[in-house]
Amino acid sequence: MGKYVAKRIIQLIPTLFFVILTAFLLMKLIPGDPAMILLGPQARAEDIARFRQQLGLDRPLPVQFLIYLKRVLMGDLGISLVYRQSVLSLILERLPVTITLSLCALVIAVSIGIPAGVMAAMKHNSFIDLLVTILALMGLSMPIFWFGMMLIIVFSLELGWLPAVGLGDPTKGLWDVVSHFILPSLALGILSTGTIARFTRSSMLEVLNQDYIRTAYAKGLRRTLILYRHALRNALVPVITVIGLQLGNLLAGAVLTETVFALPGLGKLMVDGIFRRDYMLVQGEVLFTAILYIFVNLAVDIAYAFINPKIRQTYRGV
């Protein structure tokens, strides 16, 4: 098991290097000079040149990358050109909102997706199976921003049940904060709900066709015992991997959701940074999100190895 974890961690090194290089090059392709943007159109040419020198933008591209790589390895993502604050501190300030939103969306997706997938498999080729399949496809196909706006129109503007935008005020009680997360979590979780439902259905159908399930029926075991103790337990092993991967997708999908619902998280911060051409902020946030996604996948792989005895046996024999 230790060899498996060590191998996965070593495999991260080239991936992390590629992510840092990609983040650096992508920002170089974006038009606009950060020095001119920060100093404004009235700035003199010598002031712009001096500021470019301070930022290291006057050096060759490989040298700029090496300087950037060294700073990143030391945990320095630069200073925001607009906020005049450390990019890392800005990200850490907004991170709890994005993490909370993503976890709430994941809870909704798992709570709905797994029961729906199990039910569809147990009622294979029935109306319920068809209904779950159609709803899962609708969830996969529905744009997050469109679904978010529909939720605002129905539950906020028409019915007035839930707040449309903002984070809520903790001094007004827990419900004020929770109510502000319900609609964004539903909007963000709809995509993962469809994915989890479809994957659970497929996994459950595959397990139900295994010989040991037929043997259990032949021995006269109760159907509920076979389904929930033997079939569901094995069917959920690969689903757990999908759930972990969905958490990474939810972190990325928070960009649109936070913009629609005006939540002050990482997604909203990135959109604001793009519109204001905050060179260092966008670069730092892209890199931070990519690294977070990579480590979430690493945690999923390690968790999967713990619950899957085949992986443990493979590396035990190495």
- Cβ atoms within 10 Å of 114's Cβ, excluding its own: 22
pTM of the predicted structure, to 2 decimals: 0.78
Name the more confident of 5 and 318: 5
Which residue's structure tokens are 């997938």?
A: 117
Q: What angle do CA 139, 127, 189 make, to 5 degrees?
A: 20
Name the more confident of 145 and 307: 145
Query: For residues 130 and 134, what is the distance between their CA atoms, to the nearest angstrom?
Result: 6
8-state DSSP, 79: B
Q: Is residue 293 very low, low, confident or very high in pLDDT (cuts 50, 70, 90)?
A: confident
Annotate 262-291 with DSSP letters as a single string: T--SHHHHHHHHHHTT-HHHHHHHHHHHHH
* Cβ-proximal residues to 144 (8 Å cutoff; 6+ apart), any chain: 187, 188, 190, 191, 253, 256, 257, 260
CATH for 93-315? 1.10.3720.10
Residue closest to 294 by CA, chosen among 245, 253, 256, 258: 245
Please tell me the least confidently modeled range out of 72-76, 85-89, 130-134, 226-230: 226-230
Query: For residues 276 and 81, what is the distance between their CA atoms, to the nearest angstrom?
Result: 9
Predicted pLDDT at 318: 47
Could you read off the pLDDT of 148-178 as tens digits, one per residue? Answer: 888 888 888 888 888 878 777 777 777 888 8
Could you read off the pLDDT of 128-142 as tens digits, one per residue? Answer: 888 888 888 888 788
Predicted pLDDT at 288: 85
Q: Is residue 287 very low, low, confident or very high in pLDDT (cuts 50, 70, 90)?
A: confident
Using the Cα atoms of residue 168, residue 170, residue 173 and residue 174 in order, give the sign of their dihedral.
Answer: positive
Provide the H-helix boundaries in the chain: 2-29, 34-39, 45-55, 61-73, 87-122, 127-141, 144-151, 174-208, 211-218, 223-225, 232-260, 266-275, 279-307, 309-316
- Mean pLDDT in the chain? 81
Residue 306 in this model has a pLDDT that exceeds 60: yes
Could you read off the pLDDT of 222-241 as tens digits, one per residue? Answer: 877 788 777 887 888 778 77
* Domain boundaries of the chain, sorted by first residue: 1-87, 93-315
The residue count for the chain: 318
Q: Write b or e for each residue in 242-259: b if 16 or more Cβ atoms lie within 10 A of its Cβ, otherwise e.
A: bbbbbbbbbbebbbbbbb
pLDDT above 70 coverage of the chain, percent: 92
Could you tell me if 105 and 248 are in contact, meaning their C-beta atoms sit under 8 angstroms apart?
no
